[in-house]
Structures are given as structure tokens and as C-alpha cells.
Structure 1
């Protein structure tokens, strides 16, 4: 999966089935806040979305960032994938 970090739009992007899927973010200190998951209404492949989020977590690991999930679907991803809970900053409980 190819993920583009569109710093101008402040979002991670990928194209699947000619559709754009993105996660909007903002930075504060060494934290990345994942604020919005944009998935077309017609796109129903939850496994692909999960893999997209896993790839974003790997980017956060590489960049040594803590991750603050804001949007409910991203929070649910963390609950389903406890391996990534180490990326949460101290004091954040899901």
C-alpha cells in the first residue's frame, strides 16, 4: 500500500478503487493527533481501512511520535489492536 503524507493538506492519503481515503492530522510537540478518517460512503472494505491505519502507526513509530486518536473509528482501531497502545501518550486511556 502506498501512503502519501500530504503535508500541505495535513493528511495521510491512499488511493484504492479510484477513491481517495485519508486521515487528517495535526501536530503538537512530539504528538500526532489523528482527527478525521475520510472514507467514501460507497467504500465498505473495513479490512483495507484497518491496514491503512496500521501503516500510519508504522509511520508514527518510524518518526518516534506519540499518537492521539480523536475520531471514534480511530479510537475503535486502537481498542481492536492493543499492540499499538504503546503509541499513546501517558495519561490517554481508551
Structure 2
């Protein structure tokens, strides 16, 4: 599995990564110190190779490093990832929100 960088594309409001010529992207919107992670697009090939998990991990770590902003997962893939990694990222949820 090759390593990759994520890019925060402010203009298109999405996180992106290119792997083997395929683009993975996660659309988001920000308001009031919250980031709504709304639409994940990933090819089946990359999904089968385990890149979805790695991509979302990098995004969550990036948001955690920035601090001062909370994650609101709105897509089913992001919610599933969050539930699986709840202990690591529980501080990123807005106060009072449960997933």
C-alpha cells in the first residue's frame, strides 16, 4: 500500500488524495467551528485495497492537529469509520453529540 498526502482543497471544499491515478475525495462544509463531513468518493479498487480507512484516518488526524474545530460526520462511511475509532477521536465530536 503506497503512502499518500491529503490535500485540503478550500476552493472545492473537499479533502483529496491521489493514489495510482485515482482521486479519493471527501466533501465538507464548515460553520461555527464545526466541519460537516458529507460525501466520500472512492473507487472500488482503492476501497478493496484498504485506502478508505487510511484516507479517513489522515483527515481525522489533520483536523485533530488543527484543533478548535469539531467533526460532524454526515455520510454513512464517515459515521462507520468514527464508530470504529470512537475511543481515539471522541474529543472531536461537538459536545452533546452522539454517533
TM-score (norm 1): 0.91
CA shift at 1:42, angstroms? 4.1
Give the 3 Å change call, closer, same or farther, for CA 2–93 of structure 1 in structure 2. same
1:3 to 2:6 alignment: yes
2:89 match: 84
The CA RMSD over aligned residues, in Å, is 1.3
Give the distance between the partners of 2:24 and 2:35, measured in 1 at CA: 18
CA shift at 1:85, angstroms? 1.7
1:31 to 2:64 alignment: no
Length, aligned pairs only: 94
TM-score (norm 2): 0.87
1:70 to 2:74 alignment: yes
1:61 match: 64
Give the 3 Å change call, closer, same or farther, for CA 88–17 of structure 1 in structure 2. same
Tell me, which stretches of 5 or more residues in structure 2 are unaligned? Answer: none
Q: Deviations over 1:32-86 (max 9, x none)?
A: 1101101124433362111111111111112211100000010000111111121
